[in-house]
Amino acid sequence: MKAVIQRVNHASVTVDGDVTGEIQKGFLILLGAGADDGKAECEKLADKISKLRIFADENDKTNLSINDISGDTLVVSQFTLYADCRKGNRPSFIKAGDPVKAEELYEYFMKCIDAKINGKVEHGIFGADMKVALENDGPFTIVMECNNGEIV
């Protein structure tokens, strides 16, 4: 499972002109499920993300977690995180998870992250053509991957 975590001042996702998720200060998480991923990857990622200390404290040091600032989370599914661009110019997505299983893992990840953070958890619509708007704070972006239940 792969996640791109962006520290944001605000973010939203829109589908067919309707806002399906919107947050203020917190994390925008782009989440991709791989072919071999399962619930253990969801649980490990949610736990690690909830403990990331990437928000500034009173001394402007990145010492605070999302819970310390009562931040929100917006989770957007993104199978393109599994793009393989080694051959040719058209990416292959063969390592991305089966859509049915990937959607189940996306839903499970949202339950896991919701259990770990104090703020609200908003989301896009799995498989939809989404428009994501954000104001990246920093910018501060972290790429995280979990394989076999371990962060790599």
For 77, the token pair is: 């599914």
**pLDDT tens digit sequence for 42-100:** 999 999 999 999 999 999 999 999 999 999 999 999 999 999 999 999 999 989 999 99
| Cα–Cα distance for residue pair 10/148, rounded to 1 Å | 32
| Cα–Cα distance for residue pair 27/76, rounded to 1 Å | 11
Domain count, the chain: 1
pLDDT for res 23: 98
Residue 6 known to be catalytic: no
Residue 80 known to be catalytic: yes
* Residue from 27, 79, 93, 140 carrying the catalytic annotation: 79
pLDDT for res 89: 94
pLDDT for res 5: 98
Residue 20 known to be catalytic: no
DSSP 149: T
pLDDT for res 129: 96
CATH code for the domain of 54: 3.50.80.10
Domain span including residue 68: 2-151
* Residue from 27, 55, 73, 78 carrying the catalytic annotation: 78
Res 117 pLDDT > 90: yes
Percent of residues, the chain, with pLDDT higher than 90: 97
Total-model pTM? 0.95
